[in-house]
Amino acid sequence: MVLHVTRAASPQFVQPIFFRLIKVREDWITYHGWIWLHGYQLDARGEAVAQRSIFVQPAGLIVRATPVPVARPARRPTPPRPAARARQGKKSIDRQV
């Protein structure tokens, strides 16, 4: 299950994250209305970038099928630089003798 964790779930998430839930930590003691979740923080492509345990209010979690991918601008291929151009202007040590 993928969750969108925002500030509504906990004040620590000013910057919202996507979180792949692995386990609800029922063995950890919490305050009423809060739970510990164990899983992976996801990047914009939906790939795991960090393993985390987070302390949240379940009422503030948003269930997502998959994270929304971020649109990336198309990359232009850079033209290759000629090797001869890079060598221009360099003097050989043999010529100075």
pLDDT at residue 29, rounded to an integer: 81
Please state, in angstroms and as integers, the Cα–Cα distance from residue 19 to each residue in 30, 46, 66, 73, 80, following that order: 20, 9, 10, 25, 41
Q: What is the dihedral of CA 25, 27, 35, 43, to 10 degrees?
A: -20
Q: How far is residue 69 CA from its own chain's centroid?
A: 11
Nearest by Cα to 48 from 13, 17, 84, 23: 17
Would you give the DSSP letter of residue 95?
Answer: G
Digit-coded pLDDT (tens) for 32-88 = 989 999 999 999 888 999 999 999 999 999 998 665 555 566 677 777 776 655 555
The first and second tokens of residue 48, run together, are: 């795991």
More confident residue, 44 or 5: 5
pLDDT at residue 5, rounded to an integer: 95
More confident residue, 94 or 19: 19
More confident residue, 7 or 95: 7
pLDDT at residue 45, rounded to an integer: 87
More confident residue, 29 or 60: 60
Strands in 17-24's sheet, in edge-to-edge order, are 48-56, 35-42, 17-24, 2-5, 61-64
